[in-house]
Structure 1
């Protein structure tokens, strides 16, 4: 079973996309990946919203907008719990963290099931 945290966010007001991208890839991603229980991060930059699902089978309401939706992958629930414990022992300094840079819209823990062709 794969466990993921999935989070959607906007860039905080006052931060330019260029500043955000530099911080994200040069500072934050390396800080997160220092945790041995995190397998990988997938950063999905949102290009545009979708208004219809599966060939017009359903209208999708206009809702939140997102700059990015990110996925953080863990081997299992135990790895995720160890990830949290590791950061309690090794906190990211506030000046390097997302506060003031990332405006979170949602952040959830999920169990993933992949369907492929």
Structure 2
């Protein structure tokens, strides 16, 4: 499995309520219409973790994120097919993230899952 990892904030002037409504009612269904995307995991950032020295961990401004999203694909070929599908079926600009989402990063990673034996 590979993942696209996206870290972002909400564009100034867009409320969390407006953003959440668009994200779950419009954007997620639009993305999942692409048959090459297996699932999306939205991780909302709650707070920084306390550092080992007992102080609050400092977060660089570029990583002061609202959410980190994971888009899961079976493999790299599925990711490339996902991109090709959207090239042939582009989202209308008014439904896309422009003007709503300020991306800090968009990375592709390979996942290795380690679980506890039960």
TM-fit CA distance, 1:116? 1.1
Match of 2:80 in 1: 81
Match of 2:67 in 1: 68
1:104-115 residue pairs with structure 2 within 5 A?
104-115=103-114
Q: How many residues align?
A: 113
Which ranges in structure 2 are unaligned for 5 or more consecutive residues? none
TM-fit CA distance, 1:50? 1.6
TM-fit CA distance, 1:61? 3.8
Structure 1: distance between partners of 2:7 and 2:27? 16
Structure 1: distance between partners of 2:70 and 2:40? 6
Match of 1:7 in 2: 6
TM-score (norm 1): 0.91
Which ranges in structure 1 are unaligned for 5 or more consecutive residues? none
1:31-110 residue pairs with structure 2 within 5 A?
31-52=30-51, 56=52, 60-63=57-60, 64-110=63-109
**3-state SS in 2 of match to 1:42:** strand
Structure 1: distance between partners of 2:2 and 2:95? 25
Cα deviations across residues 46-100 of structure 1 (Å, max 9, x unaligned)? 1001242xxx28x854222111110000000100000000000000010100000
Cα deviations across residues 28-47 of structure 1 (Å, max 9, x unaligned)? 00000000000000000110
Per residue, is there more strand in 1 or in 2?
Answer: 1
**3-state SS in 2 of match to 1:37:** coil
Structure 1: distance between partners of 2:78 and 2:13? 35
**3-state SS in 1 of match to 2:109:** strand
